[in-house]
């Protein structure tokens, strides 16, 4: 795999964007065999071959402005440039662009691995600009030259670029006449990704930046697995497919034509499956950016833990980690599952407290009884569980109903890791203090 940064457009060649590409690819484990190369560094070569193409008549100078073209062609049934300068022998100057002379007869056939043969009649193609008036070569010329020089064998890209492929094939044939004869690469145009409205993913409306998924806590293995299944599927009904299997089984000629729905919910579910497959040690390591950033090699941009650094405990987190690993689908969900352990006071969810404590007529009695029982019970998971079941039975309450106000009082939320394991990690005194604080609040 050759990594070439196509930065001939100076507006789109900023260093921070290049850094983003490199970091995203590194995170996904997509290591290039060659590169990164900057296309702009080959501009002298592009300009030299443009000169040869001009001298050979494949390119011609055009002095038409966009306004002039639009004015001349506004009533034409076929949009695009009308070939006005094609036979005028316009002198090449710093004011003129260079256009490629598309044959008026015949057709160009793109032999696509995924879509088969796609025919482009020449009469439907305009003489496209290959070199701007500034002398800067554009996509069709620069890419064709680079693909030739780098001995590219396969060009795999989105179907939105299919209409540019006949231009590159024509350019390739012209370059064969003015430069070395080079075999064409194979082309494969992948289906576009669409959102829930079945519209093409938009940079402005949809979450398309790879970095954003990393910062939400998706695992690279899950992300690559999911991307591979967009427009392709392995034999059988498998969805969780290891990278080595993907590499062995993937075939370009098995990719479907239809647009592929980028289903974030399915990706998230798959990510949860991958999280649960981690060993305890791997899970703790993956969680570091969200729980102990100072020990991580990378952290989400702008993220800070909801607790002071000095209150975090590696030992406590390692104890709770296996319990939350089974309950999350993204690593970014971890802080809200464990913050009660590292904050001075329970982070009270007002809606949860209102429902489980204020509006439950038995909540005050439950919390009072819990303080009494927990103070006289061995502070161990099974003993606390059994004691809670016992006094809940005395009140004719199911365990779920008995636990609800206790959970909110101690952890601040109605959802979280198993209650009795959480109580043990907090310790008897802290649990008693939080139960007392919740009682005082409920009785105001």
Please list the active-site residues.
203
Helix-strand-coil percent breakdown of the chain, rounded to 5? Answer: 50, 10, 35
Alpha-carbon gap, residue 384 to 297, rounded angstroms: 39
Helix-then-strand count for the chain, H and E: 18, 11
Structure tokens at 230: 């967009």
| 267: exposed, middle or buried (Cβ count in 10 Å: 0-12, 13-18, 19+) | buried
DSSP of 244-282, one letter per residue?
HHHHHH--GGG--SS-EE--HHHHHHHHHHHHHHS-HHH
Please compute, for residue 185, the number of CA atoms within 13 A of its CA located in the half-sphere on the CB side.
21
CA distance 349 to 328: 19
Q: Which two tokens stand for residue 153?
A: 């064998």
Query: Distance (Å, rounded) from C-alpha 54 to C-alpha 357?
Result: 82
Backbone angles phi, psi at 120, to 5 degrees: -125, 105
Residue 52 has which token pair? 């040869």
């Amino acid at each position: 795999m050759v990594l070439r940064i196509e930065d001939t457009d100076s507006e789109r060649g900023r260093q921070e964007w290049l850094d983003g590409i490199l970091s995203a690819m590194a995170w996904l484990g997509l290591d290039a065999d060659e590169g990164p190369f900057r296309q702009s560094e080959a501009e002298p070569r592009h300009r030299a071959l443009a000169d040869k193409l001009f001298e050979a008549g494949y390119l011609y100078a055009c002095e038409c402005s966009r306004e002039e073209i639009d004015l001349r062609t506004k009533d034409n049934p076929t949009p695009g440039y009308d070939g006005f300068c094609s036979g005028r022998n316009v002198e090449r100057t710093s004011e003129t662009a260079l256009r490629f002379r598309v044959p008026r007869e015949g057709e160009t056939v793109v032999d696509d691995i995924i879509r088969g043969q796609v025919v482009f009649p020449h009469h439907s193609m305009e003489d496209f600009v290959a070199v701007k008036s500034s002398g800067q070569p554009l996509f069709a010329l620069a890419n064709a030259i680079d693909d030739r020089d780098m001995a590219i064998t396969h060009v795999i890209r989105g179907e939105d670029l299919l209409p540019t492929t006949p231009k590159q094939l024509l350019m390739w044939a012209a370059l064969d006449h003015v430069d070395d004869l080079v075999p064409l690469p194979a082309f494969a145009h992948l289906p576009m990704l669409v959102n829930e409205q079945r519209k093409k993913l938009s940079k402005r409306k949809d979450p398309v930046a790879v970095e954003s998924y990393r910062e939400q806590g998706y695992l690279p293995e899950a992300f690559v697995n999911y991307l591979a299944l967009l427009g392709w599927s392995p034999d059988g009904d498998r969805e969780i497919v290891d990278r080595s299997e993907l590499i062995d089984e993937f075939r370009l000629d098995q990719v479907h034509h239809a647009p592929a729905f980028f289903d974030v919910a399915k990706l998230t579910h798959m990510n949860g499956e991958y999280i649960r497959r981690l060993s305890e040690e791997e899970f703790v390591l993956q969680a570091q950016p969200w729980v102990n950033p100072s020990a991580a090699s990378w952290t989400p941009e702008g993220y800070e833990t909801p607790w002071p650094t000095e209150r975090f405990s590696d030992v406590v987190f390692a104890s709770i980690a296996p319990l939350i690993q089974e309950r999350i689908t993204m690593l970014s969900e971890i802080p809200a599952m464990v913050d009660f352990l590292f904050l001075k006071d329970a982070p009270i969810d007002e809606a949860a407290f209102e429902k489980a404590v204020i509006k439950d007529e038995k909540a005050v009695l439950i919390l009072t009884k819990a303080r009494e029982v927990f103070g006289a019970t061995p502070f161990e998971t099974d003993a606390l569980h059994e004691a809670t079941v016992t006094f809940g039975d005395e009140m004719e309450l199911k365990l779920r109903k008995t636990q609800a106000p206790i959970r909110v009082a101690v952890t601040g939320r109605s959802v979280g890791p198993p209650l009795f394991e959480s109580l043990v990690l907090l310790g008897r005194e802290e649990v008693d203090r939080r139960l007392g604080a919740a009682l005082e609040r409920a009785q105001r």
